[in-house]
């Protein structure tokens, strides 16, 4: 079941306008993505943790979201230390663990988890409809925003259709397995899902025509920044500057430009 687990809530973060949160999340994401050094990445992780607490997210549920990247992190922690060379830390007759790989794996771990936590704290705390309107106010093309709104609206319906069809297969004793019968059944089910969606799309288009739609999307939402929005943006700017300075102190200027 698709769920917006964190979108409802009361916290200083939930009180910010979606535009403020989106802007902050995008800014931080790109800054962190360009960092490589330990200090700024630790600061970013610190900032991310502060944001998670400020958003008053259920820590258990938020922690579970980190599992999304666990598989990938496990892979790089196994592979990179063995393959990247650098000063040898430990070795036996088969394996050699190198410093470069450990540094890289640590860097990726810090980056990935801080970016995920920031996304969780700032973006997952709004409904996707709000995100769409925020992106609209940040000048994403209106057609794309409309597409996002429609897609979001119908995923729940279509997921429901899919689940119901899977249940219908189940009550007819269908058991998934590695077999052509199984793949064929899934393919037919999905084919039916696509066909039903295309039919629905025709009806929806007609319904849009009935409401005088002519291709231009007008958003209802207007954002008015309040003091807390300015305060928060200020905080994010300071955090960004601190992270950038942290990165600069080690990397010489010409290397960045």
Residues paired with 91 in a beta bridge: 96
Query: Nearer to other proteins by C-beta: 20 or 227?
Result: 20
Smallest distance, other proteins to C-beta of residue 103, A:
10
Smallest distance, other proteins to C-beta of residue 174, A:
5
* Separation between Cα atoms, residue 216 and residue 152, nearest integer Å: 19
Query: Nearer to other proteins by C-beta: 94 or 227?
Result: 94
Side-chain half-sphere of 244: how many Cα atoms within 13 Å?
Answer: 13
Query: Nearer to other proteins by C-beta: 207 or 237?
Result: 207
Dmax over CA atoms of the chain, in Å, equals: 75
Region of 86 (left: φ > 0; alpha: ψ -120 to 50; beta: rest) is left
Residue of 104, 92, 155, 125 lying closest to 232 (CA atoms): 125
Query: Nearer to other proteins by C-beta: 123 or 243?
Result: 123
Query: Nearer to other proteins by C-beta: 79 or 237?
Result: 79
Residues counted in the chain: 257
Query: Nearer to other proteins by C-beta: 206 or 224?
Result: 206
Smallest distance, other proteins to C-beta of residue 136, A:
12
Q: Are 93 and 75 in contact (CB under 8 A)?
A: no
* Separation between Cα atoms, residue 162 and residue 150, nearest integer Å: 18
Region of 190 (left: φ > 0; alpha: ψ -120 to 50; beta: rest) is alpha
Smallest distance, other proteins to C-beta of residue 85, A:
8
For residue 187 the two structure tokens come to: 């393919």
Query: Nearer to other proteins by C-beta: 158 or 227?
Result: 158
Question: Looking up tokens 């663990």, which residue turns up?
Answer: 97
Smallest distance, other proteins to C-beta of residue 226, A:
19
Quick check: helix, strand or coil at residue 88? strand
């Amino acid at each position: 079941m698709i769920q917006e687990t964190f979108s409802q809530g009361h916290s200083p973060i939930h009180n910010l306008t979606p535009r403020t949160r989106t802007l902050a999340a995008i800014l931080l994401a790109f800054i962190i993505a360009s960092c490589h050094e330990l200090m700024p990445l630790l600061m970013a992780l610190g900032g991310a943790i502060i944001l998670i607490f400020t958003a008053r997210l259920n820590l258990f549920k938020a922690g579970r979201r980190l599992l999304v990247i666990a598989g990938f992190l496990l892979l790089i922690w196994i592979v990179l230390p063995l393959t990247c060379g650098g000063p040898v830390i430990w070795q036996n007759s088969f394996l050699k663990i190198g410093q470069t790989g450990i540094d890289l794996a640590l860097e990726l771990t810090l980056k990935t988890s801080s970016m995920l936590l920031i996304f969780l704290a700032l973006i997952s705390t709004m409904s996707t409809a709000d995100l769409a309107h925020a992106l609209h106010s940040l000048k994403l093309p209106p057609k794309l925003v409309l597409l996002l709104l429609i897609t979001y609206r119908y995923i729940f319906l279509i997921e429901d259709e899919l689940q119901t069809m899977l249940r219908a297969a189940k009550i007819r004793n269908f058991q998934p397995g590695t077999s052509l019968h199984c793949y064929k059944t899934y393919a037919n089910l999905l084919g039916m899902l696509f066909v039903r969606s295309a039919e629905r799309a025709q009806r929806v288009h007609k319904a849009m025509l009935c409401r005088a739609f002519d291709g231009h999307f007008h958003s209802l939402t207007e954002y008015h920044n309040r003091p807390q929005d300015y305060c928060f943006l200020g905080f994010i700017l300071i955090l960004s500057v601190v992270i950038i300075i942290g990165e600069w102190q080690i990397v010489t200027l010409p290397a960045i430009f």
